[in-house]
Amino acid sequence: DAKTTQPNSMESNEEEPVHLPCNHSTISGTDYIHWYRQLPSQGPEYVIHGLTSNVNNRMASLAIAEDRKSSTLILHRATLRDAAVYYCILRRIVYNQGGKLIFGQGTELSVKP
Binding site for other proteins (CB under 8 A): 32, 36, 41-46, 49, 51, 85, 87, 91, 93, 95-106
102: three-class secondary structure by DSSP: coil
Q: Which is nearer to other proteins, 42 or 53 (CB)?
A: 42
**3 or 77: CB nearest other proteins:** 3
Q: Based on CB atoms, which residue is closest to other proteins, 65 or 102?
A: 102
Q: How many CA atoms lie within 13 A of 97 on its CB side?
A: 10
Report the SS3 class of residue 68. Answer: coil
Nearest CA to 17 among 47, 60, 57?
60
What's the min distance (Å) between Cβ of 87 and other proteins? 6
Instruction: Give me the least distance between CB of 17 and other proteins, in Å please.
Output: 24
The residue length of the chain stands at: 113
Alpha carbons 110 and 75: distance in angstroms, whole number = 13
Measured from the CB of residue 113, what is the shortest distance to other proteins in angstroms?
25
